[in-house]
């Protein structure tokens, strides 16, 4: 599967990037192609493109703040969770997304 993700925490520093790394590592470990956009203190980095959205099977939004341009994910299979969830419960986050995709 190709899964796009957004990570964002209130201060936009440590947890944003820890969650991004956890999403990448766990997703790849589970055999997925992953792209993680971060919305942090440095602004948006590794931005999800229209091409990414067209090929994505699902989106994971790991954020404890409102993210920019959330409407671009409307109509997609989406899991929203706390920014700490991928860090603490990475496999569970991906299992939930995989189940949603399997159920169509």
For CA atoms 53, 64, 92, 35, the dihedral sign is positive
Q: Which one of the listed residues 9, 23, 62, 93 is annotated catalytic?
A: 9
Decide if 9 is catalytic.
Answer: yes
DSSP one-letter code for 68 = T
Through-space distance between the first and last CA atoms of the chain, rounded to whole angstroms: 13
CB 94 within 8 A of CB 102: no
Positions marked catalytic: 9
């Amino acid at each position: 599967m190709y899964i796009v993700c957004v990570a964002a925490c209130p201060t936009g520093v440590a947890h944003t990037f820890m969650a991004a790394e956890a999403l990448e590592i766990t997703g790849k470990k589970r055999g997925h192609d992953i792209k993680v956009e971060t919305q942090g203190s440095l602004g948006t980095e590794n931005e999800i493109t229209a091409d990414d959205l067209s090929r994505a099977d699902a989106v994971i939004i790991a954020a404890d703040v409102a993210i920019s341009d959330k409407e671009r994910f409307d109509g997609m299979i989406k899991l929203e969770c706390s920014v700490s969830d991928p860090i603490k419960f990475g496999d569970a986050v991906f299992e939930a997304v995989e189940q949603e995709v399997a159920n169509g």
